[in-house]
Amino acid sequence: MWRVAIYAREAPGRAGQARLDRQVASLAAQVARQPGWCHVATYADQGAGAVRPGLSRMLADARSYFDLVVADGYGRLSPDHRELQALLAQLGGTGVQVVVLRPAAGRRFARLVANLALADLVGAAAR
């Protein structure tokens, strides 16, 4: 059984809090659907910048509490490429893996398939 932590980050403010809540709920639902995954912790931050208490707590808890960190994009961990590499190395050093689950990717794929099917229908009608 994989012990899974969720990390979410969003801009501050009332609208940001609602988006943060939706992000956490979406990730929790995706984790729940994965066989062998058990959601054990959620870490969240509002805003960008150097002060991210949720990320700090997650890094401190990494070795003891979970095996996987789930986020909906690497940019949630850090938009800065160098900092992201350092975070991934730090987590990897504790044996924790990072998995990106993008809720919107499934919708984009479904839209692509629907558009291809529509194009096929239009092409068949034109023949």
Q: H/E/C letters for each residue in 100-125?
A: ECCHHHHHHHHHHHHHHHHHHHHHHH
Q: Tell me, what DSSP letter sits at residue 45?
A: E
Tens digits of per-residue pLDDT, 67-98? Answer: 999 999 888 999 889 999 999 999 999 999 99
Q: What is the mean pLDDT of the chain?
A: 85
Distance from the Cα of residue 61 to its chain's centroid: 18
Pairwise pLDDT comparison (72 vs 103), residue with the higher score: 72
Contact by Cβ (8 Å): 61, 96: no
Report pLDDT for 32.
95
What CATH code would you report for 2-126?
3.40.50.1390
Structure tokens given for 106 = 């499934």
**Does the pLDDT value for residue 51 go beyond 70?**
yes
**pTM of the model as a whole:** 0.77
